Structure 1
Amino acid sequence: MSSVLVLKSSILGEHSQSNQLLNIALEGSANIIERDLAANPLPVMDLNVIGSLGGNEDELNDEQKAILQQSNQLIDELKAADSVVIAAPMYNFMVPTQLKNWFDMIARAGVTFTYTETGPVGLIDNKPVTIVTTRGGQHKGTEHDIVHGYLKTILGFIGLTDVNFVFAEALNMGDDVAAENRKGALEQLAGALS
């Protein structure tokens, strides 16, 4: 039976539009590994974290060894999953810090990507990735949609190029418009996850 890695990143918990959409779309699904990156935050990239992920394990202190172990666990979850579903709300034109922290913990040279003479090559076996991105306004296809470009780039960098986006936009632009866009997003999610 196939397994799905689900990443939630909204700071709004049960009030989160992206979390609500995923909960409805995945209701009754089996073999889900769920990570709520806001409820259980990962370390923010700093000198200590980068030293943990790129250093010699024998030279790491206990805190750094724990960071490295956590990174290894996140990468193992990603490798083991048959597909990935990411909830990526737009905050100030970018993904939440909590989701960026996850990428910082898994993007490791020699582990999830490598550099070659022709450029970087991802080391994660390709698998379907579905991203539901929620926004208060309308940004899809505009220069303001940095979320789309960032996620396609970072996922492709580690080898995940089978990426499908589901947009739920205009969620703060009136109840009727929001309801219509949520309904459309749920229909797209049902199709993407079937």
Structure 2
Amino acid sequence: MTTLLVIKAHPEPAPTSVSLKVMDAFLEEYKSAHPDDKVVIRDVYATPVPPINNSTFPAWAAVLGGTKPEDLSPEQKAMMGPANEWLGEFLSADKYLFVNPMYNHALPAELKQYIDVVEVPHATFRYTAQGPVGMLNGKKAAHIQAAGGFYQNADVTAAPQDDFAAPYLRAQLKLFGIDDFTGIYAEGMDTYPDRRDQFIAQACDRAREVAAKF
């Protein structure tokens, strides 16, 4: 069974969130076009992302240094348990949908932390003498992002150099070996409030178009 993993990174309820409205349009079309697929939603606000901090870092460092997970101490295993669960969920998916608002030209901190949790050597990528090589080849990803200004949409005066979120996510997934990346951007709602509904509708149409073939 094909699995779509939705990484949802938005703290607001759906009625006030543009990115979640576009996500709903995507998922409605996706489920209609792929009725046999499994859809899993990982809400990084509903369940805190496993931390990488002074307490957990020694366990992370041990694993990254080559220690097998089963050889960790009981305390370290307990600390690594949630992170390993999230990593396993990520690895088992065939397709990914990332959903977020742009926060100060970047990803929400929770989504950045999620990427750090799943970016694990020998799991999502490996080091070689020629440089890092991705291990998730053949998988695909889509990215829904909402922003008050214009950054990615080409039909307006854009400032792509000021969007550090979408390029960062694309680069990290490329590191994993995921080259099939599609962006769905709802932009300009704060720049032109009178055109808000138009911009959202256009993003929803784009989401449905992508979802049908995703």
2:11 counterpart SS class? coil
Pick the structure with greater CA Rg: 2
* Greater CA drift, 139-148 or 41-50: 41-50
Equivalent in the alignment of 1:148: 166
Deviation, structure 1 residue 127? 1.2
Q: Which moved further from structure 2: 67-76 or 117-126? A: 67-76
Are residues 1:118 and 2:119 paired?
A: no
RMSD (Å) for aligned C-alpha atoms: 1.9
Three-state SS of the structure 1 residue aligned to 2:182 is: strand
In the alignment, structure 1 segments of 5+ residues that lack a partner are none
- Report the equivalent of 2:91: 79
Instruction: Report the Cα distance in structure 2 between the residues aligned to 1:120 and 1:52, rounded to whole angstroms.
Output: 22
Give me the whole-angstrom Cα distance separating, in 1, the residues matched to 2:161 and 2:82. 35
- Post-superposition shift, 1:82? 2.2
1:125 maps to a residue whose letter is: N
Q: Does 1:53 align with 2:53?
A: no
- How far 1:13 moved relative to its partner? 3.2
Of the structure 1 ranges 153-162 and 11-20, higher mean CA displacement relative to structure 2 is found in 11-20
Match of 1:24 in 2: 25
TM-score between both structures, scaled by the size of structure 2: 0.82
Aligned residues: 193
> Identical aligned pairs, as a percentage?
26
Aligned pairs for 1:5-44 (under 5 A) are 5-14=5-14, 15-27=16-28, 29=31, 31-44=38-51
Structure 2 segments unaligned to the other structure (5+ residues)? 153-158
Aligned residue among 178, 187, 192 for 2:196: 178
Name which structure has the greater RCO, CA cutoff 8 Å, separation 6+: 2
After the TM superposition, which parts of structure 1 deviate over 4 Å for at least 4 consecutive aligned residues? Answer: none
8 Å CA contact 1:38–1:98 kept in 2: the answer is yes
Q: Alpha carbons of 1:121 and 1:50: their partners in 2 closer, same or farther (altered >3 Å)? A: farther
